[in-house]
DNA sequence: CTGCACCTTCGAGTGCACTTCAAGTCAAGC
DNA sequence: GCTTGACTTGAAGTGCACTCGAAGGTGCAG
């Protein structure tokens, strides 16, 4: 019914090692197994992995992602808390983007200095 | 003539441990010592630390910062190469910012979904 | 039915960027 | 002169997020 860990790895961009690790730490709960005991990833699993990856690349720690995953597992009653987590994270990402912009301006300035140096 | 490691720590925002570590790995060359062998940071040292911090917070690895520092130590002949390093880094930072923006849009979308859920 | 690739689990190992420790030195205040 | 506290060094330790290895199970091509 689902796809193998190999295919899930290709689709998600995460290594098979990482997929197993994410399951182990509780980021992705109870991936189904086929008759031979092999993992079988469903479409919802893949969508969840995709969202996890976005949280991850925006700098959320594995520990916090675990807390979010745990809330999600507990069902709709935790929706407000999950929303607050995402909102807090959103603020951190905005700050990070602003900081990167500032630092980039300094780097750009340095690059300009080098150009000026090379021309003279 | 210069300031103590404690003061340099306060000014730079780096811990005294990190300042010693940066010197050890060659990021900041030959910080002056006072009569008692204690580190004495000069204004140029602090400016360099400040720039290093910007490279660091924009995601440059210690190893690459070391290469940059080494080129800088070798003098003006390496200016073009340093400029190229900064230009390459600049591209990576721009990509990173773009990626963060994209991922943030998805997070915003999720937050909206939660708001909608809570209202209904 | 045998070889082979790929799967399983569990635990140990890796790389990065610090961070802490241990042992000793030094300067200032009492 | 002695204590106190900040400094010095080199080496070892930490936390995070993977990443790999060992030992064994499974399924399909030849």
What pLDDT is stored for residue B22 in this prediction? 98
Q: What does the pLDDT average to over A108-119?
A: 93
pLDDT per residue as tens digits for the range A52-75: 999 999 999 999 999 999 999 999
Q: Cα separation of B104 and B113, whole Å?
A: 14
Q: Which nucleotide is nearest to A35 (CA to C1')?
A: D26
Q: What does the pLDDT average to over A75-104?
A: 97
Both tokens assigned to A13: 């961009």
Separation in Å: C27 C1' and A12 CA: 61
pLDDT per residue as tens digits for the range B27-75: 998 899 998 889 999 999 999 999 999 999 999 999 999 999 999 999 9
Count how many domains chain A has: 1
User: How far from the centroid of its chain's Cα atoms is residue A81's Cα?
Assistant: 19
Q: Does B105 touch chain A (CB under 8 A)?
A: no
Beta strands, E only, chain B = 32-33, 39-40
Q: Cα separation of A109 and B83, whole Å?
A: 11
What's the gap in Å between the CA of A37 and the closest CA on chain B? 34
Residue A42's nearest CA partner among A4, A85, A92 is A4
What pLDDT is stored for residue A2 in this prediction? 85
Partnered with residue B41 across adjacent β-strands are B3
The rounded mean pLDDT for chain B is: 95
Say what percent of chain B tops pLDDT 90.
Answer: 91
Residue A23's nearest CA partner among A56, A66, A83 is A66
Closest residue (CA) to C1' of nucleotide D25 is A36
Separation in Å: C28 C1' and B36 CA: 13
Bridge-based pairing of strands B39-40 and B32-33 is antiparallel
Q: Would you list the DSSP string of B45-59? A: HHHHHHHHHHHHHTT
**A111–B90 CB contact, under 8 Å:** yes
Q: Which domain CATH number covers B86?
A: 1.10.1660.10
pLDDT at A111 over 80: yes
Domain that holds residue B102: 5-119
């Amino acid at each position: 019914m689902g796809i193998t860990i190999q295919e899930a790895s290709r689709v998600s961009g995460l290594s098979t090692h990482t997929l197993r690790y994410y399951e182990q730490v509780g980021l992705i709960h109870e991936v189904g197994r086929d008759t031979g005991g092999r993992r079988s990833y469903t479409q919802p699993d893949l969508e969840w992995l995709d969202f996890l990856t976005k949280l991850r690349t925006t700098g959320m720690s594995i520990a916090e992602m675990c807390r979010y995953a745990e809330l999600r597992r507990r069902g709709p009653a935790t929706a407000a808390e999950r929303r607050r987590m995402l909102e807090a994270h959103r603020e951190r990402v905005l700050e990070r983007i602003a900081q990167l912009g500032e630092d980039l301006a300094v780097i750009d300035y340095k690059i300009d200095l080098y150009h000026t140096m090379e021309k003279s």
